[in-house]
Amino acid sequence: MQKNIVVIEGDGIGPEVTRQAVKVLNAVAEHGGHEFTYKYCLMGADAIDKTGTPLPDETIEAALNSDAILFGAIGHPKYDNDPSAKVRPEQGLLKLRKSLQLFANIRPVTTYPALQHLSPLKAKILEDVDFIIFRELTGGIYFGKKETSADGNQAMDDCTYTREEIERIAHLAFRQAQQRRKRLTLVDKANVLETSRLWRKVVQDIARQYSDVKVDFLFVDNAAMQIILNPKQFDVILTENMFGDILSDEASVISGSLGLLPSASIGKGAALFEPIHGSYPQATGKDIANPLGSILSAAMLLDHFGLHKEAGRVREAANWTLQNSFVTKDIDPVNFYFTSTIGELISDYVGGKIPGDIHRENIELRKSTII
């Protein structure tokens, strides 16, 4: 298989974790006889510094002509702390989503037995948690008309959805549910919002085409509570843009570290894969960031290419590192391993060099992982 991948390393820890994901993809390619070529492009604060814009036209063109995009993170404190800034890193990501028509964000949420002690939830609640959130990505209040009065005392954000926007992501979510435990939960606020009532009507109409899928409806406030009280009840969650943003971030802490969770944004063209964490500028250049979110995003990229066996191997390798306490500082502040070391371990595992006898002293010294 030959595939062209655009790599956007972004800001903060983005370059560090993305390099580990590329390292793993190269191991997959070498082991399986595939060929991945990479084109590195700019977006975010780094792009503003170098070009004056958060998303150069060259990046859009490269992304449109790629088979997939691997993305790190964007954001910088100088923009976070300046609400008056007219040009912001996040504008680049929103524009890229629109340009590529990436209308569906997919976030799997799973738990790891080895990390249950890090979760704010009790161990018995964490058993068998495995669900996916489908978040609509290009509509709703984030993309609606925005106005502020001349005196600055009144502001407005429009929330708008069309039947077509709801249908296209709903079909994706229903098809995913058919491949899993055949249960879909629509999260809305249909008791208050007209847009939510449209969501509920459209999903009820579409559900007739998927008679094997059981459909539930939850108001967003109840859904937020249920994700904490009993997360294992969920299989596929479908929701609109803002609700999905909030709920997926809430769900991310269940696993024990924000650095563990991947995501995919898909639409009509090339798909984009990224860890859900931010740019974490405090850790930039220290080789301590958790690369698993980025590496597992690469696994989702492999699934997108139809390389399901290879994707499973990457997930198996990531789980192996956790089970054997090869973890980064966010998981174990005392006995931790470096970002680059985790990337090397997973690459070696994917390449068939481990599991087996490994020399922990060499790992700690950043030497070869193999005896």
Just list the catalytic residues: 142, 189, 221, 245, 249
Judge contact between 267 and 102, C-beta under 8 A: yes
Taken in order 162, 64, 311, 371, is the CA torsion positive or negative?
A: negative
Judge contact between 91 and 74, C-beta under 8 A: no
**How many residues can be counted in the chain?**
371
Strand runs (DSSP E) across the chain, as ranges? Answer: 2-10, 35-40, 68-73, 104-110, 130-136, 146-148, 155-157, 183-188, 214-219, 236-239, 262-266, 271-275
* Residue whose C-alpha is closest to residue 213's, from 238, 248, 250: 238
Name residue, tokens 């080895």: 114
Distance, CA of 220 to CA of 225 (rounded, Å) = 9
Distance, CA of 310 to CA of 159 (rounded, Å) = 40
Report in angstroms the alpha-carbon separations of 139 from 136, 167, 213: 7, 12, 26
